[in-house]
C-alpha cells in the first residue's frame, strides 16, 4: 500500500504530508483547489514526466515529491528492485523520491539511491495504476491484457510452461539450423579438407620438431670443428691424467688414511666423491655429443629437407610449424562431422519434432483456458456496467490467432469495448469521455479484483458526470475494490466520499493549496458542503450523517452475498 506522500513546493503546494490508510482514501475539495496537483505529485515520484519549471511553486528553487510504499516481500516490485540492486531494508518499504530544480533538471531516487527516470517509471508502474481523464496507463496498456487474463483465469503456471517449451522448441530449431549450416559448409570444403588432412597426415609433424631439427642442423653444419673441440674437452675429463683419473686417485689416497685422519677428511672425501660423479656425467654428455656428430654421410641433407618441408607446410597453411598437428586434427574433425552429419541432423530434427509437439500441446491447452477465462471475464464485467450507467456498453476479450508460434501462446489478447449499441468494438483507450473511461476501468478492476492488483489504484473523478444511484453504485464498487487493493480517489460525489477509510480535504486560499486530514466531525461538514454547496444547512448535515452511517454498515461483499 501507499503509506505516505510528501510534497514540497509543487505548483500551489508549499508543504503537504499525507498519511494514507489501507482501503479507500478520498480527496475532496472545490474545483480548482489543487486535488489533481497531489495526484500529479504522486505520478512525479513514480517516474512520470514533470512540467519542468512550471512544476515548481513560484519563489522556490526546487520541488520534490516522496512516496513511501509498504509492501509484502512477495510483491513483484521487490523482484524488480532486487534485479537492479535496490533492495528495500528490513522494513520492506520502497521509497520513491523525485526532485525538480528551477532550471528544469530532474533527478529520481529509489530507496535513496539515484536511478534513471526510465527505471523509476518502471518501478512506479509496478506500484501504481492511475485511471483518470485521458489516462491510458494500467488497464489501457494492451501489453498488460494477456497477463491480466491469465491471472484472472488462474493459468499463470500453464503460461509459464508454454514459455519454457517455446524456449526448448526454439533451441531445437536453432540446433538443426546450425548443423545444416555446418554440413553445407563442410560439403563445400570436402575436396580441400580431404587433400589438406591427407597432406598433413603424410607429413606427420610433431610439436617441437622444428626446434629440434634446427638445433641438429646447426651442429651438423659445424661438425668437424665442434668434434675437435669436444674431443679435446673429453680428453681433459677422461684421458690419461684427466680430471676423472685425478679425482679417483685422490679418493683412493684418502681411503687409506688411519681412522682419525679419515674422520677429519670426511667432508673433503664427500666433495671429491660428488665431483667424480659430476665428472662421469660430463664425460657421458661429451660422448653423446660426439656420437651425434659422428653420423653417416647425407644426414645433414636429410635434416635440411625435413626442416624445409615443415616450414613450407607452415607457410602454406599460415600457421607455425608447431601448430601443424593441431591443424591436422581440426581438418579431420570437420571431415568426421561431414561423415556423421546426416545422423546428427536426423537426431536433431527428431528432437525438434518432439519439442514442437510439446509446445503446441501446451499452447493449445492455454488457448482453451484463455477462451474459457475470456467468457467468464466478459460476464463479470457486463454485470458491473449497468449500475455504473454504462448499460449500453459491451465488453469483450479479443483472442486473435497469430501465425507465428511465440513464447506467449498462439494468440494475442486485447480488451475491447463498444460504448454505443451497434457500434464496432475498439480498444479501451478509444472510449469517448474521461468519465466513461474511469468508470469502465472501475468495472474492469472490480471484475479482476484479486487477479493482479498493484500496490495502489488511483482514480481521478471516476464519478464525474453521475449522481444519485449511479454515484452510490460507484462508491459501493470502490469500497468493494478497496477490500483487496488500496484505492486513492479524487471525487466530487458525497455518496463516494462517505465510504472512505480516510478523507482528505483540499482547500485553496489565495495562491496556496492546503491539505487537511479530516476528523469524523470534519467529515460531516465536508460531505454536507458537497451535498448543499456553499451554504451548509442542518438538513445537509443530517443527510451527511446518514450517508456516513450507511457506508459504515455491512460491507459491499456481504451485501452481495445476501443479494
The DSSP secondary-structure symbol of 493 reads -
Determine the pLDDT at residue 191: 77
For residues 122 and 80, the answer to whether their CB atoms sit within 8 Å is yes
Q: Which residues, 6 or more positions from 292, have their beta carbon under 8 angstroms from its beta carbon?
A: 216, 219
Phi then psi dihedrals of residue 467, to 5 deg: -155, -175
As a whole number of angstroms, the distance between CA 445 and CA 144 comes to 13
Name the nearest CA neighbour of 55 among 10, 101, 116, 3. 10
Long-range pairs of 176-181 with CB within 8 A, sequence gap ≥ 24: 176/345, 176/348, 176/349, 176/352, 179/341, 179/344, 179/345, 179/348, 180/345
For residues 515 and 508, the answer to whether their CB atoms sit within 8 Å is no
Judge whether 299 lies within some domain.
yes
Q: In what order do the strands lie in the sheet with 486-490?
A: 128-131, 456-460, 486-490, 24-29, 502-509, 512-517
Judge whether 166 lies within some domain.
no
A 10 A CB-CB count for 322 gives 16
Judge whether 212 lies within some domain.
yes
Number of domains in the chain: 1
DSSP 214-247: HHHHHHHHTHHHHHHHHHHHHHHHHSTTSHHHHH
DSSP 50-65: --GGGGBPTT-SEEEE
DSSP 380-400: HHHHHHTTTT-TT-EEEEEEE
Q: Which residues, 6 or more positions from 249, have their beta carbon under 8 angstroms from its beta carbon?
A: none
Q: What is the pLDDT along the chain (563 residues), one digit of tens a residue?
A: 899 999 999 988 989 999 999 999 999 988 878 888 898 899 899 888 766 556 888 888 999 999 999 888 778 788 888 888 887 767 778 999 999 998 888 999 998 899 998 999 888 888 888 876 545 455 667 778 898 899 899 998 999 999 999 999 999 999 999 888 877 776 767 778 888 889 999 999 998 988 888 887 777 766 556 666 677 777 777 777 778 778 888 888 888 888 877 788 888 878 888 888 888 888 888 777 777 666 555 677 888 888 899 999 999 999 999 999 999 998 888 887 766 656 678 889 999 999 999 999 999 999 999 999 999 999 999 888 888 878 788 899 999 999 889 999 999 999 988 877 777 888 776 665 666 777 787 888 888 876 666 678 888 877 776 677 778 888 888 888 888 889 998 888 899 999 999 999 999 887 788 899 999 999 999 999 988 877 888 999 999 999 999 887 655 554 443 33
Q: Which three cell numbers mark 242?
A: 684427466
- Residue 495, burial from CB neighbour count under 10 angstroms (0-12, 13-18, 19+): buried
For residues 20 and 486, the answer to whether their CB atoms sit within 8 Å is yes
Determine the pLDDT at residue 293: 63
Phi then psi dihedrals of residue 505, to 5 deg: -110, 130
As a whole number of angstroms, the distance between CA 326 and CA 279 comes to 42
Judge whether 282 lies within some domain.
yes
- Judged by DSSP in three states, 410 sits in strand
Determine the pLDDT at residue 294: 61
Angle, CA of 226, 232 and 235, to the nearest 5°: 140
Q: Name the residue range of residue 307's domain.
A: 190-336
DSSP 415-460: EEEE-STTPPPEEGGG-SSHHHHHHHHHHHHHHTTTTS--SEEEEE
Cα 302 to Cα 176, 200, 306, distances in angstroms? 50, 19, 6
Give strand pairing partners of 70: 93
Output the CA torsion sign for 493, 499, 505, 506.
negative
Parallel, antiparallel or unpaired: strands 394-406 and 128-131: unpaired
Q: Which residues, 6 or more positions from 227, have their beta carbon under 8 angstroms from its beta carbon?
A: 290, 293, 294
Residue with cell 685425478: 246
As a whole number of angstroms, the distance between CA 179 and CA 348 comes to 8
As a whole number of angstroms, the distance between CA 427 and CA 446 comes to 19
As a whole number of angstroms, the distance between CA 162 and CA 146 comes to 13
For residues 395 and 385, the answer to whether their CB atoms sit within 8 Å is yes
As a whole number of angstroms, the distance between CA 338 and CA 383 comes to 66
For residues 431 and 423, the answer to whether their CB atoms sit within 8 Å is no
Name the nearest CA neighbour of 492 among 23, 13, 31, 25. 31
A 10 A CB-CB count for 175 gives 18
Helix, strand, coil percent values for the chain (each to nearest 5): 60, 20, 25
Burial 127-145 (b: 16+ CB within 10 A, else e): bbbbbbeebebbbbebebb
**What predicted TM-score, i.e. pTM, was given to this entire model?**
0.62
Quote the crossing angle between the two packed helices 145-153 and 156-188, to the nearest 10°.
120
Amino acid at each position: 500500500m501507499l503509506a505516505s506522500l510528501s510534497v514540497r513546493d509543487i505548483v500551489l503546494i508549499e508543504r503537504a504530508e499525507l498519511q494514507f490508510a489501507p482501503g479507500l482514501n478520498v480527496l475532496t475539495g472545490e474545483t480548482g483547489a489543487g486535488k489533481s496537483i497531489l495526484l500529479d505529485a504522486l505520478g512525479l515520484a513514480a517516474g512520470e514526466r514533470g512540467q519542468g519549471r512550471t512544476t515548481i511553486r513560484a519563489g522556490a528553487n526546487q520541488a520534490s515529491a516522496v512516496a513511501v510504499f509498504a509492501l509484502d516481500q512477495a510483491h513483484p516490485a521487490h523482484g524488480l528492485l532486487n534485479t537492479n540492486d535496490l533492495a528495500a531494508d528490513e522494513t520492506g518499504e520502497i521509497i520513491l523520491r523525485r526532485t525538480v530544480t528551477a532550471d528544469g533538471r530532474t533527478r529520481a531516487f529509489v530507496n535513496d539511491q539515484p536511478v534513471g527516470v526510465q527505471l523509476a517509471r518502471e518501478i512506479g508502474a509496478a506500484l501504481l495504476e492511475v485511471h483518470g481523464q485521458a489516462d491510458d496507463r494500467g488497464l489501457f496498456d494492451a501489453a498488460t491484457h494477456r497477463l491480466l487474463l491469465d491471472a484472472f483465469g488462474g493459468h499463470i503456471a500453464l503460461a509459464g510452461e508454454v514459455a519454457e517449451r517455446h524456449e526448448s522448441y526454439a533451441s531445437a530449431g536453432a540446433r538443426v539450423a546450425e548443423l545444416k549450416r555446418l554440413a553445407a559448409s563442410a560439403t563445400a570444403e570436402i575436396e580441400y579438407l580431404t587433400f589438406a588432412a591427407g597432406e598433413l597426415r603424410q607429413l606427420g609433424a610433431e610439436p617441437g620438431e622444428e626446434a629440434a631439427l634446427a638445433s641438429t642442423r646447426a651442429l651438423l653444419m659445424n661438425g668437424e670443428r665442434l668434434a675437435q673441440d669436444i674431443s679435446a674437452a673429453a680428453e681433459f675429463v677422461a684421458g690419461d691424467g684427466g680430471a676423472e683419473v685425478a679425482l679417483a686417485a685422490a679418493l683412493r689416497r684418502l681411503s687409506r688414511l688411519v681412522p682419525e685422519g679419515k674422520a677429519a677428511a670426511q667432508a673433503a672425501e664427500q666433495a671429491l666423491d660428488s665431483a667424480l660423479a659430476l665428472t662421469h656425467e660430463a664425460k657421458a654428455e661429451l660422448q653423446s655429443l660426439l656420437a651425434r656428430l659422428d653420423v653417416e654421410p647425407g644426414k645433414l641433407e636429410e635434416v635440411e629437407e625435413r626442416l624445409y618441408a615443415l616450414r613450407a607446410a607452415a607457410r602454406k597453411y599460415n600457421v607455425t610449424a608447431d601448430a601443424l598437428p593441431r591443424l591436422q586434427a581440426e581438418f579431420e574433425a570437420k571431415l568426421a562431422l561431414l561423415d556423421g552429419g546426416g545422423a546428427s541432423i536426423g537426431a536433431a530434427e527428431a528432437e525438434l519434432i518432439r519439442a514442437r509437439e510439446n509446445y503446441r500441446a501446451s499452447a493449445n491447452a492455454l488457448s482453451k483456458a484463455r477462451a474459457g477465462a475470456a467468457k467468464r471475464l466478459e460476464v463479470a464485467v457486463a454485470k458491473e456496467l449497468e449500475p455504473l450507467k454504462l448499460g449500453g456498453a459491451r465488453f469483450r476479450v479479443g483472442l486473435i490467432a497469430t501465425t507465428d508460434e511465440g513464447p506467449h501462446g498462439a494468440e494475442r489478447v486485447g480488451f475491447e469495448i463498444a460504448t454505443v449499441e451497434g457500434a464496432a468494438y475498439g480498444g479501451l483507450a478509444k472510449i469517448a469521455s474521461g468519465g466513461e473511461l474511469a468508470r469502465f476501468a472501475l468495472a474492469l478492476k472490480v471484475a479482476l479484483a484479486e487477479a493482479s492488483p498493484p500496490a495502489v489504484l488511483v482514480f481521478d473523478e471516476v464519478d464525474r458526470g453521475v449522481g444519485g444511484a449511479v454515484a452510490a453504485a460507484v462508491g459501493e464498487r470502490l469500497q468493494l475494490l478497496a477490500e483487496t487493493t488500496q484505492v486513492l480517489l479524487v471525487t466530487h460525489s458525497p455518496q463516494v466520499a462517505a465510504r472512505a477509510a480516510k478523507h482528505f480535504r483540499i482547500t485553496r486560499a489565495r495562491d496556496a493549496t492546503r491539505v487537511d486530514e479530516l476528523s469524523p466531525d470534519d467529515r460531516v461538514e465536508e460531505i454536507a458542503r458537497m451535498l448543499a454547496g456553499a451554504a451548509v444547512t442542518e438538513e445537509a448535515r443530517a443527510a451527511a450523517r446518514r450517508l456516513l452511517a450507511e457506508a459504515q454498515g455491512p460491507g459491499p461483499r456481504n451485501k452481495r452475498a445476501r443479494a
